């Protein structure tokens, strides 16, 4: 799964992105070293009319457009790549509303004797990378305000991450960004595979990451041996 990540930028070097202005400063996306569900993050989407790529502020935790509960109901943060094209909560968004979440690293926890040991996971060269996501635009049944939300697709872990967990987020290779964001192909399922482990690294970090209020660069400091 993917339950926490670091986002330092609204864009990716390989994409020419227009960063949209968010009118809600309190809910708007910002730099996060310890980003958590229900917070706002920059998400890259393609405008179907202009073909341009925009980075907009969306809430992490998908609310399908057909949900009637006043609180938005269950808000999944992840969708399994194996079932995303079939489950009612995800299939429409997967076919027509795909997005990319630009991040610097994500976190995972190894199941050991309590407390669980957290790890930071990133690219060896320190470059940002894009996670495969889907998004929705939900209209609140009472206020009629719209809430844009997203979730991240997951797949089986590669051989490096499998040492601590059985799942990982779907990381898109840069040459697949355009294809993923296009709505011409309803099921690019061949992209939903583990990213190569040989270009990635992971390191143990402090359990301070367990609390989202601890949101500063020191979260990423490696533990001493």
51-77 pLDDT per residue, tens: 899 999 999 999 998 888 877 878 999
Q: What is the pLDDT of residue 8?
A: 96
Whether residue 82 lies in the annotated active site = no
- Taking CA atoms, 112 is separated from 98, 108, 164, in Å, by 35, 12, 9
Going by pLDDT thresholds of 50, 70 and 90, the confidence category of residue 225 is low
Whether residue 155 lies in the annotated active site = no
Region for residue 66 given its phi and psi (left: phi exceeds 0; alpha: psi -120 to 50; beta: otherwise): alpha
The whole-model pTM stands at 0.94
Domain of 88, in residue numbers: 5-220
Q: What is the pLDDT of residue 2?
A: 87
Q: Is pLDDT of 92 > 70? A: yes
Q: What is the pLDDT of residue 22?
A: 60
Asked if the structure places residue 127 within a domain, the reply is yes
d(CA 99, CA 131): 8
List, in sequence order, every residue forming a beta bridge with 171; answer none if it has no partner.
131
Asked if the structure places residue 95 within a domain, the reply is yes
Asked if the structure places residue 190 within a domain, the reply is yes
192-220 pLDDT per residue, tens:
999 999 999 999 999 999 999 999 999 99
Q: Specify the DSSP class assigned to residue 145.
A: -
Q: What is the pLDDT of residue 183?
A: 85
137-195 pLDDT per residue, tens:
998 888 888 999 999 999 999 999 999 999 999 999 999 999 999 988 999 999 999 99
Residue of 2, 99, 151, 155 with catalytic role: 2
Q: What is the pLDDT of residue 115?
A: 78
CA atoms within 13 A on the CB side of 190: 3
Q: What is the pLDDT of residue 200?
A: 98
30-53 pLDDT per residue, tens:
899 999 999 999 999 998 888 899
**Residues contacting 68, CB < 8 A, separation 6+:** 141
What total of structural domains would you count in the chain?
A: 1
Residue 48, domain CATH: 3.90.1680.10
Asked if the structure places residue 225 within a domain, the reply is no
Quickly count: other Cβ atoms within 10 Å of residue 115's Cβ. 9
Encoded tokens for 215: 């949101």
The burial of 204, by beta-carbon neighbours within 10 Å (0-12 exposed, 13-18 middle, 19 or more buried), is given as: middle
Look at residue 119 and give its three-state secondary structure.
strand
Asked if the structure places residue 97 within a domain, the reply is yes
96-137 pLDDT per residue, tens:
999 999 999 999 999 877 779 999 999 999 999 999 999 999
Asked if the structure places residue 28 within a domain, the reply is yes
Q: What is the pLDDT of residue 29?
A: 86
Residue of 108, 136, 151, 155 with catalytic role: 108
């Amino acid at each position: 799964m993917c339950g926490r990540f670091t986002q330092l930028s609204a864009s990716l070097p390989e994409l020419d992105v227009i960063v949209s202005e968010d009118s809600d400063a309190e809910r708007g996306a910002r730099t996060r070293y310890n980003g958590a569900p229900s917070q706002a993050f920059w998400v890259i989407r393609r405008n179907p009319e202009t073909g341009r790529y925009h980075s907009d502020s969306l809430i992490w935790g998908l609310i399908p457009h057909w949900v009637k509960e006043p609180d938005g109901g269950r808000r999944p943060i992840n969708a399994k790549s194996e079932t995303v094209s079939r489950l009612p909560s995800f299939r429409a968004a997967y076919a027509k509303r795909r997005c990319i979440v630009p991040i610097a690293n994500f976190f995972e926890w190894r199941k050991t004797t309590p407390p669980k040991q957290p790890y930071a996971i990133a690219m060896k060269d320190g470059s940002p990378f894009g996670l495969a996501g889907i998004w929705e635009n939900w209209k609140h049944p009472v206020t009629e305000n719209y809430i844009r939300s997203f979730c991240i697709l997951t797949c089986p872990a590669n051989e490096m991450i499998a040492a601590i967990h059985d799942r990982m987020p779907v990381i898109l290779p840069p040459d697949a960004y355009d294809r993923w964001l296009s709505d011409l192909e309803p099921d690019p399922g061949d992209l939903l595979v583990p990213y190569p482990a040989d270009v990635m690294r992971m390191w143990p970090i402090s359990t301070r990451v367990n609390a989202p209020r601890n949101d500063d660069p020191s979260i990423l400091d490696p533990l001493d041996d």
